[in-house]
Structure 1
């Protein structure tokens, strides 16, 4: 009798465990990206360096879902960036929890990408194959997701005939100053056959003014060629992009406009000039074979007193489904005394900077 009871208990326990596992799914994933790079001018000197993340950056993550019934799920995502070369950790990846419904969309709360990342960035090469070094000057439009929104609530709709949309609000968390370092963002996307298109807008008040608000200070160029950390009274970023697939070739174009007003040097406390950037990009990706792909882009960025030309090419070769190697070159030319700064590098002492790099990535 005891063996029967024990068998029943064991069977019930196994059934409960099986049901729990079936209802909940959790996965560990991530990427390691490292390589070598040559930069012709960093503060007046050539630089040879080991790199961590010329394309995507290295990170690990946990994500999961729990079935709640009726087409609804609880979802979570927890990621952490780090440097393969130094082991340093970075707070540059999302962490959130929320609810997802097949009929009503997804609502999440936490440290998240804004709608520029979700709806505009995929049409700029930095938001896809090109990655980190292909960002527009100073990543002024956040197409390379240099910064994420803290204290944010985000909604993404399901697709309606190829159309989807979303919205985000990030709280300032400042007592008595509801709008100081808060942000909101909206975006929309269309996917139909070979054509895709997207648009997004991000607005920030009092960026960097508080330590616990939506965003940290942003890196901007000064009027005499320096680069500094800035608190910003008002930031607006708009972006529109589209792509068209022709066989193994994807052609895309992207336009964005970012303005920063009431600027203050975050370190010195001095007022600085307002600045605006207009970015015009055309890019293409060609899948030559299942293992070999080529990508290239040209971007013209115009500010009120300066402009930048940036061109880049990249080739990737897949060694397996999880591991690939790449080589790339990025060249940037700046005018009117503005600094040339390829993303993730220190400024050049002249108006030109060239990066040539190669690396290996592994996904797990």
Structure 2
């Protein structure tokens, strides 16, 4: 919808054509998890595929193919009404042939160039994330204080990068981050790669990234941790054959010098590798089938995870879904399907159904 907003009595659209759009999504359902701390759990879910949110985005035509752009989103839990700060907010400039430059709290290059080849970064959504979303394929974390460039597409090739400031006086590199990525598409084939580097992740409250969750030293435990140096990279590719798309990915997240954020205890450095193969099949114009297998290893442990999803479109903006995820960990490692608390043992099974509406 078009919008004219008055500033000191002068309509903004007196200078150039502007547009502002209100949009959003609500995702909620019911889930059964067989093992949460040793007990079965039944719960009303929120955001099993996509986190619920509302947003405003808009642009102002500056002439010559240039434009000013903005995006403002806010997440929330449909089941409780709780606000969740897990969506982007930025303002910037763009040009048709030069790309865009934006400033704010934004998705990093792993989200833009690697995650689309994973099922969690596309159809599968939140519950299909790799262990503890260690590679950020499900964009559990956004980069604060960030400056981001996204290129235009040149012959099927696009690229981009992000730098997130620490905002700390005298501590330029303490909780700062940068990332780069690229994508190439030709016909039914696509490939992408991305890299993210953090210094002092979670060390400060106002830096680039918050703390992250890692497997703990005790059997079945997870901890909230700061990390003195984190390097994550991922590569993926996909190929479409008619109504079927096959994709494969590899990612590696290396966490050097982690510290328990609650106790201050030093933890062993940990590298996690994720191998995924997934497929999506459009059975009919209204029915989409998706499945994946992921193998994760690191720190002397490993995890197997398989998932299936059926999505049915009721209309242009409303769909219902059924999905199941099963994870099996090696001995003494925590089984923990994303969006759930850890199991008491090596196995965890989740079955969920829900409804999603976009506006």
TM bin, normalised by shorter chain, reads over 0.9
Q: Provide the C-alpha distance between the structure 1 equivalents of 2:335 and 2:12, rounded to a whole number of angstroms.
A: 58
Q: Provide the C-alpha distance between the structure 2 equivalents of 1:162 and 1:17, rounded to a whole number of angstroms.
A: 40
- Tell me the residue number matched to 1:290: 285
Q: Provide the C-alpha distance between the structure 2 equivalents of 1:265 and 1:81, rounded to a whole number of angstroms.
A: 27
In structure 1, the gaps of 5 or more residues are: 1-15
Select which of 234, 241, 244 maps to 2:239. 244
Q: How does 1:290-329 map to 2 (within 5 A)?
A: 290-329=285-324
Higher helix share: 1
How far off is 1:22 after superposition?
A: 7.0
Q: Provide the C-alpha distance between the structure 2 equivalents of 1:149 and 1:17, rounded to a whole number of angstroms.
A: 34
Select which of 58, 64, 86 maps to 2:58. 64
Q: Does the 8 Å CA contact 2:311/2:319 hold for their aligned counterparts?
A: yes
Q: Provide the C-alpha distance between the structure 2 equivalents of 1:136 and 1:240, rounded to a whole number of angstroms.
A: 14
Q: Provide the C-alpha distance between the structure 1 equivalents of 2:273 and 2:160, rounded to a whole number of angstroms.
A: 24
- Tell me the residue number matched to 2:156: 162
Q: Provide the C-alpha distance between the structure 2 equivalents of 1:81 and 1:276, rounded to a whole number of angstroms.
A: 30
How far off is 1:336 after superposition?
A: 2.9
- Tell me the residue number matched to 1:267: 262
- Encode CA deviations 1:308-331: one digit per residue, 9 max, x unaligned: 000000000000000000000000
Q: Does the 8 Å CA contact 1:217/1:231 hold for their aligned counterparts?
A: yes
- Tell me the residue number matched to 2:94: 100
Select which of 176, 184, 188 maps to 2:178. 184
Q: Provide the C-alpha distance between the structure 2 equivalents of 1:349 and 1:90, rounded to a whole number of angstroms.
A: 28
Alignment: residue pair count = 349
Select which of 111, 130, 136 maps to 2:130. 136
Q: Which protein has the larger Cα radius of gyration, Structure 1 or Structure 2?
A: 1
Q: Provide the C-alpha distance between the structure 1 equivalents of 2:133 and 2:172, rounded to a whole number of angstroms.
A: 27
How far off is 1:103 after superposition?
A: 1.6
Q: Does the 8 Å CA contact 2:109/2:179 hold for their aligned counterparts?
A: yes
Q: Does 1:91 align with 2:90?
A: no
In structure 2, the gaps of 5 or more residues are: 1-9
Q: Secondary structure at the match of 1:118?
A: helix
- Tell me the residue number matched to 1:205: 199
Structure-1-length-normalised TM-score = 0.94
- Tell me the residue number matched to 1:347: 342
Large movers: runs of 4+ above 4 Å:
16-22
Q: Provide the C-alpha distance between the structure 1 equivalents of 2:185 and 2:159, rounded to a whole number of angstroms.
A: 12
Q: Does the 8 Å CA contact 2:16/2:62 hold for their aligned counterparts?
A: no
Q: Provide the C-alpha distance between the structure 2 equivalents of 1:231 and 1:73, rounded to a whole number of angstroms.
A: 39
- Tell me the residue number matched to 2:4: none
Q: Provide the C-alpha distance between the structure 2 equivalents of 1:34 and 1:297, rounded to a whole number of angstroms.
A: 22
Structure-2-length-normalised TM-score = 0.96
* Worse-matched range after superposition: 16-25 or 222-231: 16-25
How far off is 1:21 after superposition?
A: 9.6
RMSD: 1.2
Q: Provide the C-alpha distance between the structure 2 equivalents of 1:291 and 1:21, rounded to a whole number of angstroms.
A: 44
Q: Does 1:153 align with 2:147?
A: yes
Q: Provide the C-alpha distance between the structure 2 equivalents of 1:125 and 1:326, rounded to a whole number of angstroms.
A: 15
- Encode CA deviations 1:113-138: one digit per residue, 9 max, x unaligned: 00000000000000000000000000
How far off is 1:20 after superposition?
A: 4.4
Q: Does the 8 Å CA contact 1:305/1:336 hold for their aligned counterparts?
A: no
Q: Does 1:226 align with 2:226?
A: no
Q: Does the 8 Å CA contact 1:222/1:273 hold for their aligned counterparts?
A: no
